[in-house]
Amino acid sequence: MSALVAAVERAVKRPIWGCRMCGQCVLHATGLTCAMTCPKNMRNGPCGGVLQNGHCEVEPHRRCTWVQAWQRSARLPLWREQIAQLRPPVDWRLEGTSSWENLLTGRDRHVPAGWAATQRPMS
């Protein structure tokens, strides 16, 4: 069943967003730009190597994922502020699994205990 859901998700999201099936989708926070298309796997914004024309330093033929994400996010009616929120390190065990399923089960919200400790309310 899980494999089937993942196959459907891949079939839908790969052609539209270039989805890499990280299994912990943040498309809504990034103006519907797949963060994992960044060659450095940046989850929280652009690196310092963006070229003057806004292109990627690693793949200079295309625009920086995060230049695109910020532009698109500003045009979204919803979730606009989410782009600036700190996203935790990727759980690589979820790679290839369905983020839809992980969202429903809450599996994509698991963070390591040390990370969770920093998310308690400000003292």
Residues 6+ apart with CB under 8 A from 70: 31, 46, 83
- Site residues for other proteins, window 15-74 (CB under 8 A)? 39-54, 57-58, 64, 66-67, 70-71
Task: Give 50 or 103: the residue with its C-beta nearer to other proteins.
Answer: 50
Asked if residue 35 lies in contact with residue 69, where contact means CB atoms within 8 angstroms, the answer is yes
Asked if residue 49 lies in contact with residue 36, where contact means CB atoms within 8 angstroms, the answer is no
One character per residue 70-109, x = contact with other proteins (rule: CB under 8 A): xx------------x-x-xxx-x-----------------
Task: Give 51 or 104: the residue with its C-beta nearer to other proteins.
Answer: 51
Record the tokens describing residue 73, joined without a space.
Answer: 């996010």
Residues 6+ apart with CB under 8 A from 4: none
Query: Does the protein bind other proteins through residue 123 (CB under 8 A)?
Result: yes
Binding site for other proteins (CB under 8 A): 39-54, 57-58, 64, 66-67, 70-71, 84, 86, 88-90, 92, 112-123
